[in-house]
Structure 1
Amino acid sequence: MTILVLSSLLIIGLILLLAEVLFVPGTTVVGIFGLAVSLAGVAYAFLSFDAETAWWVTSVAVILNLAAIVYGFSSGVWNRFSLKSSMQGGTFDGRTDGLQLGMSGKTISDLKPIGKASFDDKVYEVKSENGFISVETEVTIIKIENNKILVK
């Protein structure tokens, strides 16, 4: 019965440690619980067996737990959780290149006060200077600042 309890504690601790490293990395709760169960198994070995046997059990448990951690880090499981792409673009990424003050265009949606307008066959999001402007109305660019286009 003692060997069954000891092996159960050590195996459960090892499984929890592997689960932490492979399946739920970053939470540390499962890993700490697995380490605590493994340590409880080692303490149980010292209480139940002679010192030489307990040290053998301790060394085997340490080797298996370290092997589980090393395997977890070298298995590439962390690659599934890492960011592989970066965001492109930004605030001033050239969306308004080709537009000039005084340029004429036509609204393709109602401006309430923000909507869409077409300039040189390209569609831009614009803001009206005076509130509502209905669809298919001629507009003129009066200000371009920080990718914001103000029309009247």
Structure 2
Amino acid sequence: MLLDWVTVILLIVIGLILIIVELVFIPGTTLIGILGFVLAGIGIWIGYAALGTTTGHVILGLSVLTAGVAFFYSFRTDAWSRFALKETIDSRVNEDYQHNLQIGETGLTVSALRPQGTALFNDQHHEVQTNGEFIDPNTTVRITKLSQHKIIVEAVS
């Protein structure tokens, strides 16, 4: 009976520790976290199988309560702040930039346009897009529409 309790407690504690290790120290591997969930689940299952339904319910409730308190406490103590992005982006789009392209001008695609990509006009690379069609690299294209931030092209046949 005592060995059952020790086994259940150890499995659940080790499972919770592995889940915390997954979240805090080695995020993204998921193997450690899955192993932690499996060990905690086995501990709860052994609690039901060896100690009875009522005791299993108590063990399950205490496990969920402990995990909930730990989760709540981690937000209250700002434990997650070291994972938060603290830098701000100060850069802006150059709104004053005016490209010197004209409608009808031809150029050559550098990348595949699916439907966006890069094309070369007057020895300068420009980000362009099509009206939905796909255009292969090294294809001659013609500008059909210009706006301040968009260059719409079509393949020259």
TM-score w.r.t. length of structure 1: 0.51
Partner of 2:36: 34
- The answer to whether the Cα contact below 8 Å between 1:18 and 1:69 also exists between their aligned partners in 2 is no
Distance in structure 1 (CA, Å) of the matches to 2:74 and 2:9: 22
2:58 matched to 1:56? yes
**Structure ID, larger Rg:** 1
Letter of the structure 1 residue corresponding to residue 47 of structure 2: A
Partner of 2:5: 3
Distance in structure 2 (CA, Å) of the matches to 1:26 and 1:73: 20
Select the structure with the greater relative contact order (CA < 8 A; seq sep ≥ 6): 1
Cα 1:57–1:76 shift into 2, 3 Å: same
Runs of at least 5 residues in structure 2 that lack an aligned partner in the other structure: 97-157
Residue identity (%): 28
- The answer to whether the Cα contact below 8 Å between 1:22 and 1:77 also exists between their aligned partners in 2 is no
Paired residue secondary structure (1:88): coil
- The answer to whether the Cα contact below 8 Å between 2:4 and 2:51 also exists between their aligned partners in 1 is no
Partner of 1:71: 73
Q: What's the C-alpha RMSD, in Å, of the aligned pairs? A: 2.5
Partner of 2:94: 92
Letter of the structure 2 residue corresponding to residue 84 of structure 1: K
Letter of the structure 2 residue corresponding to residue 14 of structure 1: L
Aligned residues: 94
Distance in structure 1 (CA, Å) of the matches to 2:16 and 2:74: 12
Cα 1:66–1:81 shift into 2, 3 Å: same
TM-score w.r.t. length of structure 2: 0.49
Displacement after TM superposition at 1:20 (Å): 3.2
Partner of 1:19: 21
Distance in structure 1 (CA, Å) of the matches to 2:21 and 2:33: 8
Cα 1:35–1:69 shift into 2, 3 Å: farther
